[in-house]
Chain A
Amino acid sequence: MSDDELIWRIAGGSGDGIDSTSQNFAKALMRSGLDVFTHRHYPSRIRGGHTYVEIRAAGHEVQSRGDGYNFLLALGDSFARNPKEEAYYGNEEIKPLSENLDELREGGIIVYDEGLLGEEDVAELDLEERAEENDWHVFPLDLRSLAKEHGREVMRNTAGVGATAALLEMDLAHIEDLMEDAMSGDVLEANLDILHEAHDTVAEEYDFEHDLRVPTGEHDDEQALLSGSNAIAYGALDAGCRFIAGYPMTPWTDVFTIMSQNLPEIGGISEQVEDEIAAAALAVGASHAGAKAMSGSSGGGFALMSEPLGLAEMTETPIVLLESMRAGPSTGMPTKPEQGDLEFTLYTSQGDSSRVVFAPGNVEEAYEQTRLAFHIAYEYQIPSIIIYDQKLSGENTNVDVSFFDREPAPDLGSTLTEEELAEAAHDASGKFHRFQHEPDGDNHVSPRSLPGQQGGRYLATGNEHTPAGHISEDPDNRVFQMERRIQKLESIREELDDEHESNQTYFGDETADFGIITWGSSQGVVVEAVERLNEQGHAVKGIGVSDMMPFPESEMVEFIESVDQAMVVEMNATAQFRGLIQKELGRYGDKLTSLLKYNGNPFEPAEIVEGYELNVNGSDEEPSAQVRIEPAAGD
């Protein structure tokens, strides 16, 4: 846990502007040369309820939310005014303060809005006593009155930011610039007034005995603050995707709305449709007719997509689907992350699966692997799925702008032109052999035609079919077609191994004999935990796996063989990825343990460190309440 970092938490009710305020504040920190990483915690509720956003900023690279935080800006929940709701939600007004105190680090700062959090409420919290114990520095400020005086009550966020800047001795310039970009006229004037008033009041009236200041940092490049959802959407656009169909569902909606807002401007089409079955079927129809198309959903909506997904496999129609996981089963916890849909995503739909599944580990990988997912889908005529979760979806981090400076890839893959079709094999009746038994290439792909092309006529069908697409139950044809579809996965594996940099991320001490294996969005936090363990003198290495199907067999064997013991870290209760490793490799049951967390909150680095220690040293004590160690299973 380093002291040269700021982890600023702004807490209040949904609808209080927590999101927009934190987004701007994160950008201001980024513009001052810091690396940033945001973490969003919110209830499934439009207004009120306890919500917070954490911004971690440091002069060094940050890949996770970190452990705890050191600055709390507690706004009262201005929307929780219905006394009847107390039965369900407790006293919302004091929650921004009370709910957040446990994770505040020693020496931390608290700014709370005494205009909203009444004296009596605060007294209940034994705040003074606890502050003394933990060396907290508490600043009760009447943010509400200050905001009202210069503008409107709702602008107390701005007052809070002004106070924060004063306490951290931050330059206001970046914050002012961002406000000028986002607002204008009276609203801008009022906000600027409030910002300065709060800043100056705090700067003049208080002695700063705390040690926390805004860290110093320096970027070489221009930076952009992006979420995983942004990165996926941009990866899709740069891959030439110009058609999206969907149905809103948290957290997949983020990508859907980003795409919908951009596509019309650049000549693409976005369709919000009646349900997820339709959404995925539209992606299939659009791709069949010659567009690069995608759809997606979260667990429950993805369940509905299993039919069109199977249809895409059988008709070899390229599509990209997103599976943005949230805690399940069923509706589960709509706004909380979990990695519980892995097995579901791998095997959804009837029959033998022939699909590609990528699980990016951070924002940059989300962009890269979305581009790759489109390439593979269209080259191999197979559905590609990006599986990610609420955490990666909503976490913002800074990326060098130059990272995105590359050419679009609008290639439709193995699709023929009319000139090529004229040379291709046809039935005596004139039907094009779209599903050849033995395609010309050695990658098991039989090139397709598009409706409207001269001489490319064929039947696409979800039934088993002959080369021209006629429905057929002929056993020999069945075996040919089945093997061709399944063997495409081997060809894809070969391409991924030979022509692309590995999608797996390696980190830590190469010579270590203890390994930590993780997948998807848990990667960043494991990277940080492994760094910390090595700094503490342990020898640990890690791998963040992104290829779920086809499975990176040789890389995994090499990694597991190189260690005595490996711990698989994932956010679910049934060790789904560990199960996949054992299924794919058929061994290592005695070598792998699991560290599991499934309480709706993502791992923090300290929990991984604790998991490591329990693994290596053993203990009679149970690990932290919400983390579970699952021992190795025998072969």
Chain B
Amino acid sequence: MSAFNAIGEEREIDRDEFTPGLEPQPTWCPGCGDFGVLKALKQALPEIGKTPDEVLTVTGIGCSGKLNSYLETYGFHTIHGRSLPVARAAKLANDGLEVIAAGGDGDGYGIGGNHFMHTARENHDITYIVFNNEVFGLTKGQTSPTSPKGHKSKTTPHGNAKSPIRPLSLALTSGATYIARTAAVNPNQAKEIIKEAIEHDGFAHIDFLTQCPTWNKDARQYVPYVDVQESDDYDFDVHDRQEAQEMMFETENALHEGTVLTGRYFVDERPSYQEQKKELGEMPEEPLAERYFDDDYEWERSYDLLERHK
């Protein structure tokens, strides 16, 4: 018998199951875009048939890191920038889990930038949502890796001399196999994108635009937005790397100029890291975590390896 009965359990799932019954109340400011991510996740998860017990959400530090405090799943609120290595190891140890990692733009593109690049390269089968509000929120409004050039804050009193990160292009060149941008102000699209990302076999990156009404008042609140899939002005093939690349570039430029383009940008069927590792014989077929509960499993002993040392 499985030690993880929640995994693969099939039943009707109520949206409210993902909402904590009593505490805690979100500490996000009124009007914060983070509510949009929370809402989209709560809507998406029951629709794809996931129960709270089979989902593990792994977050970093900052306002975004508190996502799993307000979402009823297994949660691991890690440390600044480190959600991805924790998330991908959890998936390796038990690939029956639905693993969703989340963090902010400072967390994900700054301090955790190296992990982002490598997790995308390896194409781990996890979903990664980056709350992008172009500012450090919880530390009170400093410039972030996605803050526009010229952005003034306490740490850049004369304006930001750096150009912002291009998260979509970065994900593409690093090797992510599902890349999208959505916005808290666009709940229907956000829900659909999150569903697709979770169902995608491979590293799915969502640059999720979340307005910060407290520390980024001057910034665009991401309205009006344009859904590139809905608009007749944009025609590109999400399976074509070249076309996707060009569209991402245009999207990232447009945001600097005040136009918000959202949608799916790239979808690729490259096998996930877990699949490839299994194929090479570098990862067991059955979840590693299950084995510790299997009384009949025969554990190899080092004694059997000693021949080469005699």
Which residues of A does B touch, CB under 8 Å? 27, 31, 222-226, 230, 233-235, 237-238, 240, 242-243, 245, 262, 264-271, 273-275, 277-279, 281-293, 307-308, 310-311, 315, 401, 404-408, 410-412, 415, 417-418, 427-431, 450-463, 469-471
Nearest-neighbour CB distance to chain B for A60, whole angstroms, equals 21
CB within 8 Å for A262 and B305 given contacts A291-B288, A459-B68: yes
Q: Judging by beta carbons under 8 Å apart, are A453 and B93 in contact?
A: no
Known: A273-B85, A454-B53. 13 other contacts (CB 8 A): A31-B310, A266-B300, A269-B93, A274-B118, A278-B114, A286-B89, A289-B93, A289-B289, A290-B3, A310-B79, A417-B293, A457-B73, A462-B61
Give the residue name and chain of the A residue nearest to B89 (CB): A285
Nearest-neighbour CB distance to chain B for A293, whole angstroms, equals 7
Interface membership of chain B positions 62-89, coded 1 if the CB is closer than 8 angstroms to chain A and 0 otherwise? 0000101100111111110010111111
Q: A243, A270, A408, A411: which contacts B93 (Cβ < 8 A)?
A: A243
Which residues of B does A touch, CB under 8 Å? 3-7, 9, 20-24, 52-54, 56, 58, 61, 66, 68-69, 72-79, 82, 84-94, 96-97, 114-115, 117-118, 277, 281-284, 288-289, 291-293, 297, 299-303, 305-306, 309-310
Give the residue name and chain of the B residue nearest to A242 (CB): B288
Q: B75, B82, B97, B303: which contacts A289 (Cβ < 8 A)?
A: B97
Nearest-neighbour CB distance to chain B for A317, whole angstroms, equals 9
Q: How far is the CA of A315 from the CA of B75 in the complex (A)?
A: 11
Q: Interface centre among B22, B24, B89, B118, by most A CB within 10 Å? A: B89
* Residues in A whose Cβ lies below 8 Å from that of B283: 264, 269
Q: Judging by beta carbons under 8 Å apart, are B97 and A222 in contact?
A: no
16 residue pairs A–B, Cβ–Cβ below 8 Å: A224-B310, A225-B309, A234-B302, A237-B305, A238-B301, A243-B93, A266-B300, A274-B117, A278-B85, A285-B93, A286-B90, A291-B288, A404-B301, A418-B3, A451-B90, A457-B72
Give me the 5 closest cross-chain CB pairs, A-B, nearest first.
Answer: A285-B89, A290-B289, A429-B21, A234-B302, A452-B4
Q: How far is the CA of A290 from the CA of B90 in the complex (A)?
A: 8
A-B contact count (CB 8 A): 235
* Residues in A whose Cβ lies below 8 Å from that of B75: 458-461, 469
* Residues in B whose Cβ lies below 8 Å from that of A292: 292
Q: Judging by beta carbons under 8 Å apart, are A285 and B86 in contact?
A: yes
Give the residue name and chain of the B residue nearest to A453 (CB): B4
Q: Judging by beta carbons under 8 Å apart, are A471 and B66 in contact?
A: yes
Q: How far is the CA of A458 from the CA of B21 in the complex (A)?
A: 13
Give the residue name and chain of the B residue nearest to A238 (CB): B302
Give the residue name and chain of the B residue nearest to A430 (CB): B21
Q: Judging by beta carbons under 8 Å apart, are B310 and A222 in contact?
A: yes
Q: Judging by beta carbons under 8 Å apart, are A460 and B305 in contact?
A: no
* Residues in A whose Cβ lies below 8 Å from that of B284: 267-269
Q: B77, B90, B303, B306: which contacts A461 (Cβ < 8 A)?
A: B77
Q: Judging by beta carbons under 8 Å apart, are A285 and B3 in contact?
A: no
Q: How far is the CA of A223 from the CA of B94 in the complex (A)?
A: 39
Q: Judging by beta carbons under 8 Å apart, are B76 and A315 in contact?
A: yes
Q: How far is the CA of A230 from the CA of B20 in the complex (A)?
A: 48
Q: Judging by beta carbons under 8 Å apart, are A457 and B20 in contact?
A: no
Q: How far is the CA of A148 from the CA of B290 in the complex (A)?
A: 56
* Residues in A whose Cβ lies below 8 Å from that of B299: 240, 408, 410
CB within 8 Å for A410 and B292 given contacts A285-B88, A418-B3, A471-B24: yes
Q: Interface centre among B6, B79, B297, by most A CB within 10 Å? A: B79
Q: Judging by beta carbons under 8 Å apart, are A452 and B20 in contact?
A: no
Q: Judging by beta carbons under 8 Å apart, are B53 and A282 in contact?
A: no
Nearest-neighbour CB distance to chain A for B36, whole angstroms, equals 21
* Residues in B whose Cβ lies below 8 Å from that of A271: 89, 92
Nearest-neighbour CB distance to chain A for B258, whole angstroms, equals 35
